[in-house]
Structure 1
């Protein structure tokens, strides 16, 4: 017979090596879950291992890894039920549509969408038995596709759609489906995204660089600036944990002040939103660039249109 202080249920968190994933794994462990924390390298496993956190090597695009995880769940030595699957793993690169190679588009969809679908399909039988919960980590980019966010936003828009459909399919079966939409959160993901963007930009043709170089610089500068003032990964993890544990969770939770802006998106004409996003980006262009001059001249009368 178990006592109330003993861990009763399993929670699975993908992309748990760093950032929100690692913070979520630890937060759920503090709340007495036994967390299977998906990581891709042994060194990450050693870093995340702790009371209530069991690392598992998991690349969500690898079918063998997913099968191994399912076997681990099915053969749990204590017969614990699965309370939640937190689909958190993601890759990001802020690159113009023209420049992002098609094989890179496919890779991003494999990680940010198809991998989550594969994980969900594999674990739904266990979640249906336990009347558990699927938590999909989306983004502000799942509602608003800013310049250079096309590939990343496309995967998150798609994840939002899959989540809506899955929620309606699972409602009669007692499985909750919740979307988390973070804005700026202080994690290592931004540094990786900027490094990826810089690598891809360095391979642009001179013509492409003339078209997009200042824009990519501005977007990365804006992202770095907003992230510095963003929420900590621990604060974001508490929102995810709330979505896992609430008796009547919302269908969506936003994280951060930028995320709150998405509530207004559906109320604005597209051109108005375009102007707001352009005005917010204007201060981040390299001084003296043609794009900075055009943006400044084109939006001098629109300074009040600022998303914050």
Structure 2
């Protein structure tokens, strides 16, 4: 399918399409006459999207960390299309906390989902993307460019995927496949409630010594993070921006989703490491 088809009608795959930003991306693409395939975490998410999408979004329960399940989903997508025009790799998790406090298992899980799962999806869908000379959009975050204290696993895993995206961009260029990073800012996507629960879980699990060392500053970070998310872009607006980036011609290598993301990306390009260190502390109120 030609590049102009990406701007009007085609097929799209969206990971994490059962809730939050991914759900709104899937519905936004369906409204633009894309045939949308997505992954979900549960049968409830699949059922929840059926009516709003009028059946135009086909969701499959799929654990991105299960390579066999991902390959099975990719085969299903390929069998139902003549090629995939767009992959929006959106699914991800957040593991906040002081690095000294977080277990290696928790950090490993973040990379399992945000990095290895994302790589698995891309590789599984590449045959279909090659057929259509399609486009990959890797949803990232501005904290991949300006990592924040107490948010290390998220920033590190997203930064890793941005590095992989740059390599894919070079390796897939001969096949006509564009690879774009959409760096998201703060969003109201259902994430704040999950973030609050995660922050409380980490704080409650600290030893007395860790609470003495990190309790006050981690509490300030938690309050600031919740405030930033609550004041962020509405999910539908963020999804609209991701779709705009996905359809932009020529394809950008990286673009911000929201004014705060665009501001941070610009700041990182223009300022020294010392200035960035000061900014990251200022952002989280430390």
Pairing 1:31–2:25 present: no
Pairing 1:115–2:117 present: yes
The 10-residue stretch of structure 1 (64-73 or 163-172) with the greater mean CA deviation from structure 2: 64-73
- Is the 8 Å Cα contact of residues 94 and 194 (structure 1) preserved in structure 2? no
Q: CA shift at 1:8, angstroms? A: 5.2
Task: Give 1:9's aligned residue.
Answer: 10
Q: CA shift at 1:156, angstroms? A: 0.7
Q: CA shift at 1:66, angstroms? A: 1.0
Aligned-partner SS, 2:84: strand
Over residues 147-187 of structure 1, what are the superposed CA-to-partner deviations in whole Å (9 max), with x where a residue is unaligned? 10111111011011001111111112100001000111111
Runs of at least 5 residues in structure 1 that lack an aligned partner in the other structure: 283-294, 296-308
Q: Give the alignment of 1:126-137 within 5 angstroms.
A: 126-137=128-139
The 10-residue stretch of structure 1 (165-174 or 221-230) with the greater mean CA deviation from structure 2: 221-230
Q: CA shift at 1:39, angstroms? A: 0.3
Over residues 102-161 of structure 1, what are the superposed CA-to-partner deviations in whole Å (9 max), with x where a residue is unaligned? 011111000001000000011111111110011100001110111101111110110110
* Distance change in 2, residues 1:8/1:281 (3 Å): closer
Q: Give the alignment of 1:54-133 within 5 angstroms.
A: 54-76=58-80, 79-133=81-135
CA distance, structure 2, for counterparts of residue 277 and residue 152 of structure 1:
15
CA distance, structure 1, for counterparts of residue 142 and residue 131 of structure 2:
32
Q: TM-score when scaled to structure 2? A: 0.91
The 10-residue stretch of structure 1 (269-278 or 81-90) with the greater mean CA deviation from structure 2: 269-278
Pairing 1:275–2:278 present: yes
Over residues 173-205 of structure 1, what are the superposed CA-to-partner deviations in whole Å (9 max), with x where a residue is unaligned? 100001000111111123212312221221111
Q: TM-score when scaled to structure 1? A: 0.85
CA distance, structure 2, for counterparts of residue 73 and residue 276 of structure 1:
43
Q: CA shift at 1:246, angstroms? A: 2.6
Aligned-partner SS, 1:21: helix
Task: Give 2:266's aligned residue.
Answer: 263
Considering only CA atoms, is the larger Rg found in Structure 1 or Structure 2? Answer: 1
Runs of at least 5 residues in structure 2 that lack an aligned partner in the other structure: none
